[in-house]
Every structure is written in C-alpha cells, then in structure tokens.
C-alpha cells in the first residue's frame, strides 16, 4: 500500500479510491494499455440448492475467455493461452467449505484438451504444487479459486491462491500478508500464468475467525471474474466484496481486514495493475444486483 | 488434551465421531488452518484438539477445543468475534446459524456445521453441552475488563486481545500498526451507549512501560488525528469526537464520542489501579 489507510478514510468516503476500487471505471480513457477483466454472470448457473449447471458454467467460461481475446470461438480463444505439447498446471483451491467447483475445473480441462494439451499433461493441484511433477514441469499455469474474505489478508483471491508455491507460507503472513504478490516472481511461477479465474458463484463476504464458514455469509452471485492479470482480477473481486459488505454490514464495515497485498502486488512486486483507471471491466450476461 | 478422546462422548444423540481425533500445537497449527493460525498464535494458544461428528443425513460437525493457556486468553479469543445471542453453555457463549462458540476455564471451543438445518443446529448445541463437563471449572476474566466503567457498558461487545490483527477485525483503525500492538500489549475494546444512535467506543491498551504508551499516543495522533491539540481531542468527519490520553502505562482512546465532554468523562472514569 503506497498510502496508509485509516478509519477516517471511510468517513471521508475515500477508502475505495485509496484501494484502487473507486466507483468510476474511467471508460473514457484509452483502452490500449488497460488490463481487461471480464465479469460474466448467468441467472441459471446455480439451482435453488446451489448445485452448478455444468453446461451453463462451461458457456460462461467460454464467453469470458472469448471476450478476453475478442475471439468468437472458445477453442481459438484458449489456443491463445496455451500451445499443443505444453504441460499445464491448474492451481485450484481445496478449502473444504468453499472449494473451486469441480465443474469449473472440468470446464477448464475440457478447453485445454480442445486446444491441444494432452490430458496426461494437465495437472490439477492445490497443497502439493511444489512437488507435483506436472507443476514442476509446467510451462503454463491456470489460476482458479473462489472469492472470500480472509481474517489475515482481508481477501482470498487469485493472488493469495498461489501461496502454496512458496517454500514457507508462514513467512508470507506478517503485516496482513502484504507480500503475497512476491510468489508470482518465484522461478516456478514467473511468467507462466495464462489465465486467472476468480469464481464468484457463491462468494463469502464475511467470516468469524480464521477458518469459519457459514451459509449466512455467502450469496448466490452466479458469476466468474476472468482476466490475465491477477491483480486486476482481484481488484474487481475486492470491489465486489466491499459493495456486498456495505450492503449487508454497513458502510463502516465495507472493508475486510486490510487487503493491502493487492495494491502491493502492483506497486512493490510489479505483477499487475491495481489502479482502477488501468483496468477495463467488461460485464457480460445477467446484471441484476451486479454491485460493481 | 489427549484425555478428551475418552472423556468426550463419541456418540451424541444420533451423531457419531468420525475419523481420527487430531491434535495440533503452536508449530503444527498451520497444518490445520489455512492462513489463520496467527490469529490464535497472537494469544497464548498451547494446543487445539479437533474431532468431526457425522450425522444421520450425511451432515458433519467440527468440534475444535483450544487450550489457550489461561482463562483470560480463552475469554479473549471468544470475545473478538461475537455477533450472536448467548446459548447458556460454559462461562460465556453465543450461537447462530450453525456456529456455537464458548469459553470455559482455559478453553475456547467452537462447534460448527457448514450446512445448518434444525437437526444439525440442535446437534451443535448438544455437542457443546457434552463438552463442557470435560473442561473443568470456570476461571477469571482479564483484569482490564474490571477497570471499565459499568454505566452504559455493553458487556457482550467487550473484547480482549493483544495484536493489531484482532483490533482491525474488531474495529478497523489503520492499515499499519500505528499503536505498536504485539504479544506484549493487552487491549480491551468496549462499546458504550451514548443515548443517541451509534455507541461510543473505548480502546484501552496496557503497554509494558509508560514510554511505549506515550510513543503510541504520539504515533496514533500523527496518523489518525493530526489536527488534535495537546489534549489529544479532534472532531472526525462524521461529527463525532476522538480522544487519546495516556495514564501511566495505559493508552486510552475514545472513538465515536458524541461530544468532547463525553470522551473526557469516559476516559477519566476508567479505574486503572494505582502503581
């Protein structure tokens, strides 16, 4: 964080701007250098029991990746991410209460195979990525996880999802996990991430203690936030969390505990952009209660 | 804590212990928690004992018993995230939406189900009641809670902790640790009725020495209320007042005060023991 944030910034209404999550998206500014982030939603992707409709989710992922590359065919769009002969690791998340949905993992795998990646060259892992041969030898990575608040880092998003690549996770915890972005500069990871998918089908906007989960703090948002820049994707994710917290918990609780790692991933570690004016947010599909 | 495997029933109602009981200490806690261990390590956590219960309809409960080393620390962990009504279990408790939290003696306990319905909610409370008997007698709360003036105090909103991570989850002040909080500091955060709208808030911090308390006040005012004069009093953007004063090795900060006198009165009525 380049500037300290205090409670008085809430009172002044400047919190969002300081976090790069301002309300305006600067659509008038030139798009050439902006990081494109696609938010896609579908009303019917979840049923009343939150079961995922696999075909609809596949369609949402396809739509997002096509839009990311201005392609009209999903396989051609994925072919811009990976090349035949590559080894690809899908970094998933297995937190038992809110894991990366298997339907999303399958949808990614399907398109990787369509794009020419051999099935036995696709890794899917979370806790053992450092020793998994498919990740050790990976030439490309896909980063996919659900969005939730986190007691230490404020937010668990695409940046935090890579903590398992670090030799010591504990070493990344001080100061609200300020240096999570450094993981993207590790040799095993650097320059390999082709796509970041922040799953916002049922995001968690609040928690009670470090590993608490309750259905009362998740909601059916029915979306995916997709982009090539993990910092830009997380910046949009943070904005969504803040909007939901403002709506449910009130303005003075809009910010989960200091998610400073997102901005520092940009300003200190240089792995992406957190400045909202440098992000082009494209919204597709269902727009009811979109919040961002 | 190894005794819990025997002393806590494996079958409670129609719910049955499933899998192996597990025990984690300060070094291995990271294996159990995804990035949240520091929150407990900021207290005097010794061990946590974990058991799962499986229900008749495929449901699952997780029972965590944290040995916090002392009743004060157990109260502290319990007090930091309270939101729900009491459940009448242990020394202090709350229950809501499938989550039971309580403390008893030096133990803090959480019983949780992620998919709460009437049956699993009832089972969560049954497990909690079954556990209390194994935890021994109650113990005293933190001495600093006793320093607080009682008039208009909201006891269920009083929290005790040491570290900045707990303060920021309870009441966000700043993105940096401007009060210099760590395991050597003791903090109480309390809410008081003001008679009009939102409550006023009191943060009382005990430092190892007076020098650190003075330095923390200076740091706080520089970052949070640079316009404050020598009295350490300033009006914030919501028309409320904030004040920061030091008494001996204690820093007293009043937030959300309706007027300067309310802040002065609350600060001066804290019953800090004479040296």
Q: Rounded mean pLDDT of chain A?
A: 91
Q: Give how far B275 is from chain A: nearest CA, Å.
A: 34
Closest residue on chain B to A213 (Cα): B114
Say yes or no to pLDDT of A22 above 50. no
DSSP string for residues in chain A: --S--BHHHHHHT-HHHHTT--S---TTS-STTPEEEEEEE-TTSB-TT--B-HHHHHHHHHHHHHHHHT-SSHHHHHHTT--TT--EEEE----TTSPPPHHHHHHHHHHHHHTT--GGGEEEESTTTTT-HHHHT-SEEEEEEEEEEETTTEEESTTGGGGGGSS-SGGG-HHHHTTGGGGGGSTTTTT-EEEEEEEEEEEE---SSTT---GGGB----EEEEES-HHHHHHHHHHHHHHHHHHHH-GGG-S-S--HHHHHHHHTT-SS---GGGEEEEEEE--TT---
- Identify the pLDDT of residue A175: 85
Mean pLDDT, to the nearest integer, of A282-286? 98
- Identify the pLDDT of residue A74: 98
Say yes or no to pLDDT of B233 above 90. yes
- Identify the pLDDT of residue A24: 42
Say yes or no to pLDDT of A212 above 90. no
- Identify the pLDDT of residue A251: 78
B204 and B148 Cβ atoms separated by less than 8 Å: yes
Say yes or no to pLDDT of B192 above 70. yes
Topology of B4-135 in CATH?
Answer: Protein Transport Mog1p; Chain A (3.40.1000)
Q: What are the boundaries of each domain within chain B?
A: 4-135, 143-268
Q: Rounded mean pLDDT of chain B?
A: 94
- Identify the pLDDT of residue A169: 85
Q: Residue A290 has which token pair?
A: 């979109």
Mean pLDDT, to the nearest integer, of A98-119? 98
Closest among A163, A154, A168, A170 to A184, alpha carbons compared = A163
B105 and B71 Cβ atoms separated by less than 8 Å: yes
Closest among A227, A239, A225, A230 to A273, alpha carbons compared = A230
Mean pLDDT, to the nearest integer, of A16-25? 51
Say yes or no to pLDDT of A25 above 50. no
Judging by DSSP bridges, how do beta strands A35-41 and A279-285 pair with one another? parallel
Say yes or no to pLDDT of B250 above 60. yes
Least CB–CB distance from B175: residue in A4, A11, A208: A4
Say yes or no to pLDDT of B169 above 90. no
Q: Do A212 and B112 touch (CB under 8 A)?
A: yes
B→A interface, C-beta within 8 Å = 30, 32-40, 80-81, 83, 96-99, 101, 110, 112, 114-116, 165, 168-169, 171-178, 223-224, 236-238, 255
pLDDT tens profile B101-147: 999 999 999 999 987 888 999 999 999 999 999 999 999 999 999 99
| Band (B83; pLDDT cuts 50, 70, 90) | confident
- Identify the pLDDT of residue A132: 98
Q: Residue B273 has which token pair?
A: 């023991």
Least CB–CB distance from B236: residue in A11, A152, A213: A11
Q: Do A7 and B172 touch (CB under 8 A)?
A: yes
Q: Do A212 and B116 touch (CB under 8 A)?
A: no
- Identify the pLDDT of residue A107: 98
Mean pLDDT, to the nearest integer, of B144-155? 97
Q: Do B97 and A215 touch (CB under 8 A)?
A: yes
| Band (A2; pLDDT cuts 50, 70, 90) | low
Closest residue on chain A to B39 (Cα): A210
Q: Do A151 and B39 touch (CB under 8 A)?
A: yes
CA–CA gap between residue B13 and residue A99 (Å, rounded): 30
* B15 CA to centre of own chain: 30
Q: Give how far A125 is from chain B: nearest CA, Å.
A: 16
Provide the 8-state DSSP code for B72.
Answer: H
Say yes or no to pLDDT of A170 above 90. no
pLDDT tens profile B39-80: 888 899 999 999 999 998 888 999 999 999 999 999 999 999
| Band (A116; pLDDT cuts 50, 70, 90) | very high
- Identify the pLDDT of residue A15: 63
Which run of H or of E encompasses B52? strand B47-54
Say yes or no to pLDDT of B271 above 80. yes
A→B interface, C-beta within 8 Å = 1, 4-8, 10-12, 95, 97, 150-153, 156, 160, 163, 169-170, 173, 175-177, 208-216, 255, 257-258, 260
Closest among B150, B144, B153 to B250, alpha carbons compared = B144
| Band (A32; pLDDT cuts 50, 70, 90) | low
Say yes or no to pLDDT of B10 above 80. yes
Mean pLDDT, to the nearest integer, of A241-252? 90
Say yes or no to pLDDT of B32 above 90. no
Q: Do A210 and B37 touch (CB under 8 A)?
A: yes
pTM: 0.87
pLDDT tens profile B91-109: 999 999 899 999 999 999 9
Say yes or no to pLDDT of A119 above 60. yes
Least CB–CB distance from A258: residue in B112, B116, B175: B175
Bridge partner list, B247: B250
| Band (A27; pLDDT cuts 50, 70, 90) | very low
- Identify the pLDDT of residue B86: 96
B98 and B113 Cβ atoms separated by less than 8 Å: yes
Q: Do B173 and A170 touch (CB under 8 A)?
A: no
């Amino acid at each position: 964080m380049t500037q300290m944030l205090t409670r008085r910034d809430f009172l002044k209404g400047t919190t969002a701007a300081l976090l790069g999550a301002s309300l305006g998206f600067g659509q008038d500014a030139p798009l050439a250098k902006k990081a494109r982030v696609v938010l896609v939603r579908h009303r019917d992707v979840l049923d009343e029991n939150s079961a995922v409709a696999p075909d609809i989710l596949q369609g949402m992922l396809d739509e997002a990746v096509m839009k990311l590359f201005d392609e009209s065919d999903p396989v051609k769009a994925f072919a811009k991410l990976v090349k035949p002969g590559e080894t690809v690791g899908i970094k998933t998340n297995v937190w038992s209460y809110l894991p990366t949905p298997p339907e999303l993992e399958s949808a990614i795998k399907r398109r990787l195979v369509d794009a020419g990646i051999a099935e036995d060259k696709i890794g899917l892992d979370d806790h053992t990525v450092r020793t998994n041969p498919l990740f050790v030898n990976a030439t490309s990575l896909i980063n996919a996880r659900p969005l939730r608040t986190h007691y230490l880092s404020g937010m668990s998003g695409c940046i935090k999802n890579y903590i398992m690549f670090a030799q010591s996770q504990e070493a990344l915890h001080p100061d609200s996990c300020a240096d999570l972005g450094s993981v993207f500069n590790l040799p095993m990871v650097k320059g390999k991430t082709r796509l970041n998918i922040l799953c916002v089908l049922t995001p968690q906007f609040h928690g009670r203690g470090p590993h608490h989960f309750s259905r009362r703090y998740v909601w059916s948002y029915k979306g995916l936030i997709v982009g090539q820049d993990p910092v830009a994707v997380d910046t949009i994710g943070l904005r969504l969390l803040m909007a939901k917290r403002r709506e449910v918990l009130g303005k003075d609780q809009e910010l989960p505990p200091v998610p400073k790692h997102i901005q520092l991933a940009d300003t200190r570690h240089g792995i992406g952009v957190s400045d909202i004016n440098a992000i082009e947010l494209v919204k597709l599909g269902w727009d009811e209660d979109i919040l961002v | 804590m190894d005794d819990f495997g025997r002393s806590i029933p494996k079958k409670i109602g129609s719910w049955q212990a499933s899998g192996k009981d597990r025990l984690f200490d300060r070094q291995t806690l990271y294996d159990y928690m995804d990035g949240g261990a520091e929150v407990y390590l900021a207290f005097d956590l010794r061990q946590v004992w974990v058991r799962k219960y499986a229900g008749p309809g495929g449901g699952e409960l997780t029972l965590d018993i944290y040995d916090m080393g002392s009743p004060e620390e157990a109260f502290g962990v319990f007090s930091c995230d309270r939101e729900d009504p009491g459940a009448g279990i242990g020394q202090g408790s709350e229950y809501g939406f499938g989550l039971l939290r309580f403390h008893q003696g030096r133990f803090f306990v959480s019983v949780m189900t992620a998919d709460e319905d009437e049956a699993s909610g009832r089972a969560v409370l049954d497990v909690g009641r079954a556990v209390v008997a194994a935890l021994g007698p109650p113990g005293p709360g933190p001495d600093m809670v006793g320093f607080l003036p009682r008039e208009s105090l909201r006891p269920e909103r009083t929290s005790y902790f040491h570290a900045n991570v707990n303060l920021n989850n309870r009441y966000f002040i700043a993105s940096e640790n401007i009060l210099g909080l760590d395991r050597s500091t003791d903090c109480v955060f309390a809410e008081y009725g003001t008679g009009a709208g939102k409550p006023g808030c009191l943060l009382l911090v005990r430092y190892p020495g007076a020098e650190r308390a003075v330095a923390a006040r200076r740091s706080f005012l520089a970052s949070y209320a640079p316009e404050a004069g020598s009295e350490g009093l300033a009006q914030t953007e919501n028309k409320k007042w904030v004040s920061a004063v030091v008494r001996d090795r204690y820093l007293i900060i009043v937030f959300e005060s309706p007027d300067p006198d309310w802040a002065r009165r609350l600060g001066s009525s804290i019953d800090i023991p004479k040296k």
